[in-house]
Amino acid sequence: MSADNQDFNIIAQECGLNTGNCANTNILIDKLKDIHSEQEIIPIYNYMLSISTEPDVIMHLIQNLDMYRHPSTLEFLVDILLLKNAKNSDSQTKEKYNNVRIMCAKAIANQKNTDVVSSLLYCLNNKDENYRVRLACADALGKIGDRFAVAPLIDVVKDENEKSVYLRETAAFALGLLGDSRAIDPLVGILETKQGIMDKFSFLKERAIEALNKMGFGSNERVFKALKNSLMDESPQVRINAIEAMMDSEHPKAFETIKKCLTEDSDEEVKKNALVALYNMSDRKILDEVINGEYSNDLKKEAANIIEEYEE
């Protein structure tokens, strides 16, 4: 008998849905795939997703449905993300379903359907929402790739009063995926802001540089100047990211600027990354120059390793 003729409610009861024995229910849910075809199992799982109240079971159903990524599942995922099926939406209920909703956002992103952008934005823009849920929604918006999300993501990146710097980082990463030139100015603005390494702001700078690099800024003078200034940042990783971004740029002064890092930076890892970047931008001459010049033994060894791996 096909799934269309099945009483989904009876199937749910046979699986012990909402009885409290989540482990056993999940086992029975998996066994349904041995009985029903893919065409039959999707509406069964969708129905169970719509009535289940147990987070562990809901997450298991989402994992199963994410393997199929059928468009019919999307509305059920959105309902869970927005807590439409919850009896109430108080803080205790939201806390109970946070991990479920995060998984929902990821499954929604995997469907690449722009129809859900407004729902994701609703959660992203709600400052009373759990920051991890907002993070997942920001990430999903970047993966879906809808340009309608660019302006709200820019607002998050620019919001210095945003309580979660992690959210601003994720929004910056999402903007890099979207690749819209409108994001260049606010991303550069992050690099131009003066804040110390002792807070979490350095990670935001890292994400901003990565996003600019993904977008491809060409020879944009303001971007290059911000990256050049980032080479003096207290964070070695910010400096490394700036070097990588310069390497991929089209700016005529990129090579000489990175070479200055090779000779003057205080961090050995930064110097090694500068060497790799210079090699990628030119040829073996820079490697021979390091080996035969007044550079540290570690840097000479790095140059020799590159020659061994790529030149001989």
What's residue 110's pLDDT?
A: 97
Q: How far does CA 251 lie from the centroid of its chain? A: 28
Of 69, 30, 67, give the one whose Cα is nearest residue 48: 30
Q: What is the mean pLDDT of residues 196-201?
A: 54
Query: Per 3-state DSSP, what percentage of the chain is helix, strand, and coil (rounded to 5)?
Result: 75, 0, 25
| Model confidence at 196: pLDDT above 90 | no
C-beta atoms surrounding 268 within 10 Å: 13
Average pLDDT, the chain: 90
At 305, list the tokens.
Answer: 């390793």
At 21, list the tokens.
Answer: 């024995």
| Model confidence at 118: pLDDT above 90 | yes
Q: pLDDT of 156-174, one tens digit each?
A: 999 988 888 889 999 999 9
Q: What is the mean pLDDT of residues 48-55?
A: 94
Q: What is the pTM of this model?
A: 0.80
What's residue 312's pLDDT?
A: 60
Angle at 166 between CA 164 and CA 169, to 5 degrees: 125
Of 60, 55, 56, give the one whose Cα is nearest residue 45: 60
Q: pLDDT of 72-83, one tens digit each?
A: 999 999 999 998
| Model confidence at 302: pLDDT above 70 | yes
Q: DSSP 3-state assignment of 130?
A: coil
Question: Distance (Å, rounded) from C-alpha 307 to C-alpha 312?
Answer: 6
